[in-house]
Structure 1
Amino acid sequence: MKKALTALAAGVPLVAAAVYLPTASADETRDTATATTAACAAPSVRAPAGTKVESVTAVRHAGGTIHGTGLLGGEVSGVPAFCQVTVTLTHPGEGDHAKVQTWLPLAQWNGRFQAIGGSAYSAGDNGVGLGTAVKNGYAVTTTDAGVGDVLDTSWVLDSKGKVAGTPLKNFASRSQHEAAVVGKAVVDHVYGKRAAYSYFTGCSTGGRQGYMEAQAYPDDYDGILADAPAVNWDEFEVATLWPQVVLNNEKTYPTDCELDAFTGAAVKACDKLDGVRDGLVNDPSRCDFDPRRLIGTKVVCAGEELTITAADAAVVRKIWDGPRTTSGRKLWSGVPVGADLKGLARSVTDTDGTVKGQPFQVPALWVQLFLKKDPSFDLTKVTYSEFTKLFQQSRAEYDHVIGTDDPDLSAFRKSGGKLLTWHGLDDEYIPTEGTVRYRKQVERKMGGPQRVDDFYRLFLAPGTSHCGLNGQDGSADGLAALADWVEQGKAPRTLPATLTNASGEQVERNLCAYPQVSRYKGSGDPSLATSFRCVPSRH
């Protein structure tokens, strides 16, 4: 089962900054598994085009338990002995220093290469993903791109108060490609042969990096597992500040308990759309629950009875609907109806009793640093009209750099690459609709859904939060499914999943390849995947 990490920073859950850790339990049965005894010595590495190698080091590790660094933390145990090779790169004249780490199992290498993406504003893995990959027999690479931890944005503004172009370019695209080149070269040197297959894995920021690889560097990987991808970065990062803009402009701040009541009511109302009450909304596009139905409802929170007001319902309605201009033109999709509203619509009470919004740090930092170029900019003052200007500014300044929304994947298809994605339908930080929108754009560009299915498949996971962080995993083993597709030509029609429904019960489902959705057969145990089948969405 895939795992994801959570952490706390300044009292805010770092859910969007999660590392997605795929497993590969099926790998041991494949013919490419290789018993290997490797030497751990610093290899000679040829610098990728446009770079210079500053240093190469090699350290032998005994393995055991690996503790994750930085805010995400976490740990993985049972890691076998491995060789850690670190290559530091610079782009001459640009003053940057990017480290590429490659961990190589000293025995029982499975013959495969894996690269791992990052989280929030971190470009690479914190050690837990690397350890997990080594534990599963992979030689694995990640890069820090010369930037910092998940919320370390000290690199963004230069001494003149302008956005620093070199680290942004590294973070957006360049360093991932260079890590692929360096990592493969290290593998070749240490093992004396090339990896049989190469894969990229990541979720959130890592998912975006995977899509960037497919778009800009189509020959780097045989397969890319890119989940809950932060594509359309320049647009959705501003869009996810919208709930806070609504709270502050309406001067209405529903409590956490009231927000939960709205979500719970929506899930309950839309639960039966797939033919059975199973505690999951399998097709949220058909859910038209009106939050005004809760006006006057009593909610008990910390022993205090609260009454949901028309103002509360109006706020939630705007948040679900998503950002619009003052004239009503839709800018982006809103928070999914089944998602945790507290992720983006949380508020706090100051010591003087004043209630104000508490924005999620990732979009907050994007607006303050990349758009306003002012770390102290007061986000509570953003009006609806200024929000539209910020959205348009972000698109104009950054789409070409980090938008990651080029629908032309013809070179990736020609290279024989496979792209696999799952995205939680209850993602509270990256609206699923953005991924669906990108998939539709690819279909229009590349000849329709059937031709796209040949190399790119999307699976939507009911009841699943951002990167499966609330224990509601979207797939039992996405990496194994991807490897079967790449190595055996077995395209996944479904992905087996264990989900947690609204009652906290675990249920089995086979995630359906988009645009199909799961529908109850009319009989059978609703907790079993065999009681459901994939059918076209009725939306």
Structure 2
Amino acid sequence: MARLCRLATFLLVQAAVAVAAPAHISSHCAKLRSLSLEQFNASIVNATYHAANAFNVSETFNDIPFCEVQAQVPYGKNNSLSFVVWLPDECDYQQRFLAVGNGGFAGTIDTVSMLKQLNAGLGLVVAGGNGGHEATGNTGDGFLPFMHDPGQIRAWIHDGISLFTSAAKEVVLAYYGKAAKKSYYAGCSTGGAQGYALAQYHPHLFDGIYAGSPGFWYSHLMLSFLWNLQKTNVGGTSLRKPQLNFTAQAVLDTCDTLDGVQDGLIENPLLCNFDIDSLVCGGSSEPDRCLSPDQIEAAKGIYAGPRRADNGEILYPGFSFGSEREWLLQEGSLGNEYAVPVLRNMVFDDLNWDPSTFDWSTDVDLVGSRASVLIDEISANLTSYRRTGGKFLTSQGWSDSYNAGELPVSHLEDIQALLGGDISDFYRLFMIPGGGHCGAAQYSPEVPAEYHYLGPLIEWVEAGTPPAQLLSSDPPDKSNRTRKLCPWPQTAHLVGENVNDWKNYRCE
């Protein structure tokens, strides 16, 4: 229908028929520049129409023509949040609104995700914001002046999406003359954390939320980065890539077939019982095919996750068996580029603070009082969101190089305990064997990494049909392999013959 409508409009314009200008043409888009958004404390900066295949984001072009509206929301003393709204032609609008989240420390609008959702052909208006600050440099101390401003910190994770959503919906109403009937949110990583913040603090804003690879315990995620940095940067404790590959293969040799299929994946790493001590070097002349005693202890630390020094309290889950190939980032860059700047700026307010001096007892309390209260979204109380009829879909890769895979599993159990039993009527978690951070694991290109969640989320919200499975497709190696993702604690079990076809699996 959308193609026929677009063709009919094109023919009318080409024939210069004397009728009112169609809602999607450039002149109608330009009129939005004068739209007043004062009631939302926002203002339009510009409005530009893009024909099909005229808008380029990282060498991907728009299949659907759209009107781009750029706007700002000022707040606090000298802050502003920039956001954009992409309005497809009326033929392609099915009265659905979608906001996308941010990654990392934000500071930019995720136009890659926006274009992906626009091109999905699901009748969506798509909007995105920059989290309330501009990215003026790379990760690190020079990137984080906003962390000294509580208002900007709130906008970064907790309130940024809500700040522009109401104004963006007014733009939608002005452009089409009809409002969105359903509102959705999709974000990954920090965007996943933003999804949890929206459900907790703004439960009436979105009918459906997708939160991928969610870093919702953000302050303790930083502690996880610091812990693993310390464990692998003392003496001979670093684990080189060949050793990580060797360790991962040894784990697979033990646990790959627990699900009855030898496919290089561990369907449920929690069932894997592997003894890392079995890899200790003896008289081996191949150093990449064994681990020294110090490296064994470092690996045990990564598996265990950070602990308080005074009472052994678990501060963040450790990494699961089967994730070892993805540990390199944990040995340096994540700690130095994320954990150290956050701790220096937000906790210790000292750009010369030495991360090796972190006290794993008293300093943990400082993290709680100075950072956790501002950037964490760990409450299990989603009662208000459930009462609105909202649907929450979240996913997590077991081989995520950033987030320990087990965190969403334990959080699901916390929500069940608080709300009382089965919560599958509004909340579902999909764990991804071999899945990385917001997609492919870097060193597992054979694993399907495109997660088809938005269509099932829309069907759940609008038709009341909960997702009993998700399709995962398009592995980076360009093969046709597909996988079936199951709502936890179910896992995929082979019932057919083709191990590379998702239709040959059943969730049990």
Say which one has the larger Rg: 2
Q: CA deviation at 1:179?
A: 1.7
Task: Name the residue aligned to 2:19.
Answer: none
Alignment of 1:233-252 (within 5 A): 233-249=218-234, 251-252=236-237
Q: Is the 8 A contact 1:66 1:131 kept in 2?
A: no
Number of residue-to-residue matches in the alignment: 476
Task: Name the residue aligned to 2:409.
Answer: 436
Task: Name the residue aligned to 1:489.
Answer: 464
Task: Name the residue aligned to 1:200.
Answer: 185
Query: Does residue 215 of the first structure (1) align with residue 212 of the second (2)?
Result: no
Query: Does residue 177 of the first structure (1) align with residue 162 of the second (2)?
Result: yes
Query: Does residue 104 of the first structure (1) align with residue 75 of the second (2)?
Result: no
Task: Name the residue aligned to 2:390.
Answer: 417
Task: Name the residue aligned to 1:463.
Answer: 434
Q: Which has the higher contact order (CA 8 A, sep 6+)?
A: 1
Q: CA deviation at 1:457?
A: 0.8
Q: Is the 8 A contact 2:280 2:296 kept in 1?
A: yes
CA–CA separation in structure 1 for the residues paired with 2:334 and 2:376: 26
Alignment of 1:286-297 (within 5 A): 286-296=271-281
CA–CA separation in structure 1 for the residues paired with 2:91 and 2:141: 39
* TM-score calculated relative to the size of structure 2: 0.85
Amino acid in structure 2 at the alignment position of 1:441: D
Alignment of 1:56-135 (within 5 A): 56-64=45-53, 66-68=55-57, 74-91=58-75, 93-111=76-94, 112-122=96-106, 125-135=109-119
Classify the secondary structure of the residue corresponding to 1:516: coil
Select the residue among 114, 131, 136 that pairs with 1:145: 131
Task: Name the residue aligned to 2:373.
Answer: 400
Q: Is the 8 A contact 1:227 1:423 kept in 2?
A: yes
Amino acid in structure 2 at the alignment position of 1:216: Y
Q: Is the 8 A contact 2:223 2:339 kept in 1?
A: yes
Q: Is the 8 A contact 2:144 2:341 kept in 1?
A: no
Unaligned runs of 5+ in 1: 1-26, 69-73, 348-356
CA–CA separation in structure 1 for the residues paired with 2:249 and 2:289: 16
Q: Is the 8 A contact 1:123 1:206 kept in 2?
A: no
Q: CA deviation at 1:54?
A: 4.9
CA–CA separation in structure 2 for the residues paired with 1:399 and 1:287: 32
CA–CA separation in structure 1 for the residues paired with 2:175 and 2:292: 65
Select the residue among 332, 351, 362 that pairs with 1:375: 351
Q: CA deviation at 1:61?
A: 2.8
Q: CA deviation at 1:531?
A: 4.2
Amino acid in structure 2 at the alignment position of 1:372: F
Amino acid in structure 1 at the alignment position of 2:49: R
Q: CA deviation at 1:155?
A: 6.5
* TM-score calculated relative to the size of structure 1: 0.80
CA–CA separation in structure 1 for the residues paired with 2:377 and 2:431: 20
Which structure's residues are more often helix, by fraction?
2
For the aligned residues, what is the CA RMSD?
Answer: 3.1
Unaligned runs of 5+ in 2: 10-21
Q: CA deviation at 1:474?
A: 5.3
Q: CA deviation at 1:144?
A: 1.2
Change (3 A) 1:257 1:268: same
Which structure's residues are more often strand, by fraction?
1
What do the CA deviations read for 1:176-228 (whole angstroms, capped 9, x no partner)?
Answer: 10121111111111111101221111111111111111111111111111111
What do the CA deviations read for 1:219-269 (whole angstroms, capped 9, x no partner)?
Answer: 111111111111111222222221111123455222222122212221232
Amino acid in structure 2 at the alignment position of 1:229: P
CA–CA separation in structure 2 for the residues paired with 1:319 and 1:422: 22
Q: CA deviation at 1:498?
A: 3.3
Q: Which moved more, 1:391-400 or 1:215-224?
A: 391-400
Query: Does residue 46 of the first structure (1) align with residue 37 of the second (2)?
Result: yes
